[in-house]
């Protein structure tokens, strides 16, 4: 068995049955948003799309701009209904200087008002920073708009060094073993909101331990959000362990992960 397929099998993302239940279930429609500062998004958006579609029953539409600034010109800005028709939105943008409160509320509208679940990856945690990012934001304040939705407030990261990841027991992390990344960025925790549930902690030389994987339940619609600060470098994003983690987080957010940590019928992929 090939290593990538073995990793999938261990995490329960593929089925050994001869007939795919996924053929009988409509794929989840996923929007993947990428673009902005400091990352190889052109490559990573393709890695994520391919990796998710291979692992779980989803179709991924890419919203990407080749704009390496901290204010990327994403087409979702000014269009609060950009999520219409989607089952899940993956925020993987890096937009640290998109700070206008009305713009941020527009980005949040599909989640806050329409109840669309989300996955937030890496630099999404350092985006849409309306207020003082270094002071713990108060729930309900403008400063907390994005952080409260994600579940964690972060303001910085240290130098790129390996991160030792220690997982806690949760349906998302079942079958996953602790591992140490290549050189990566450990994002700090200014605040972990009470609605967030820690799934993994990261330890890095010279930095304070921080939550690196979590789930959050947010707002009046109890929107489910899966988040991880991991994923700066392409080699991490294409690591089968990372893709397994994001895939299971996506299933959890859309309520398609069962209590054993496996896809509900029709949402896994058949082992080749």
Q: What is the residue extent of each domain of the chain?
A: 3-270
Q: What Rg, from alpha-carbon coordinates, does the chain have?
A: 17
The span from the CA of 119 to the CA of 214, in Å, is 10
The span from the CA of 39 to the CA of 42, in Å, is 9
The span from the CA of 212 to the CA of 243, in Å, is 15
Q: Which residue has the tokens 């994005």?
A: 146
- Bridge partners (DSSP) of residue 263 are 257
The span from the CA of 186 to the CA of 43, in Å, is 21
Collapsing DSSP states into helix, strand and coil, what is residue 74? coil
pLDDT value of residue 27: 97
pLDDT value of residue 11: 61
Q: What is the pLDDT along the chain (272 residues), one digit of tens a residue?
A: 444 444 544 466 765 433 345 458 999 999 999 999 999 999 999 999 999 999 999 999 999 999 999 999 999 999 999 999 999 999 999 999 999 999 999 999 999 999 999 999 999 999 999 999 999 999 999 999 999 999 999 999 999 999 999 999 999 999 999 999 999 999 999 999 999 999 999 999 999 999 999 999 999 899 999 999 999 999 999 999 999 999 999 999 999 999 999 999 999 986 54
The span from the CA of 239 to the CA of 4, in Å, is 9
Q: What is the CATH number of domain 3-270?
A: 3.40.50.880
The H-assigned helical ranges of the chain are 3-11, 41-55, 101-112, 145-150, 234-237, 240-253
Kindly report the pTM of this predicted structure. Answer: 0.92
């Amino acid at each position: 068995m090939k290593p990538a397929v073995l990793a999938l099998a261990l995490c329960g993302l593929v089925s050994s049955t001869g007939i795919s239940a996924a053929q009988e279930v409509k794929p989840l429609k996923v929007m993947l948003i990428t673009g902005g500062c400091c990352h190889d998004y052109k490559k990573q958006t393709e890695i994520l799309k391919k990796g998710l579609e291979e692992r779980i029953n989803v179709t991924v539409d890419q919203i990407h701009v080749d704009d390496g600034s901290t204010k990327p010109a994403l087409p979702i800005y000014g269009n609060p209904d950009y999520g219409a028709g989607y089952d899940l939105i993956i925020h993987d943008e890096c937009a640290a200087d998109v700070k206008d409160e009305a713009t941020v509320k527009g980005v949040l509208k599909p989640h806050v008002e329409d109840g669309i679940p989300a996955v937030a990856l890496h630099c999404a945690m350092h985006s849409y920073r309306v207020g003082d990012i270094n002071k713990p934001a108060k729930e309900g304040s403008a400063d907390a708009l994005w952080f409260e939705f994600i579940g964690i407030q972060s303001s910085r990261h240290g130098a790129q060094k390996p991160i030792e990841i220690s997982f806690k027991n949760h349906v998302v992390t079942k079958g996953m073993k602790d591992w140490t990344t290549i050189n990566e960025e450990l994002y700090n925790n200014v605040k972990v909101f009470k609605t967030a549930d820690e799934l993994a902690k990261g330890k890095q030389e010279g930095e304070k331990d921080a939550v690196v994987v979590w789930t959050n339940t947010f707002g009046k619609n109890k929107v489910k959000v899966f988040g991880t600060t991991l994923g700066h470098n392409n080699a991490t994003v294409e690591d089968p362990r990372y893709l397994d983690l994001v895939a299971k987080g996506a299933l959890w957010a859309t309520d398609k992960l069962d209590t054993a940590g496996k896809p509900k019928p029709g949402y896994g992929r058949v082992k080749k």
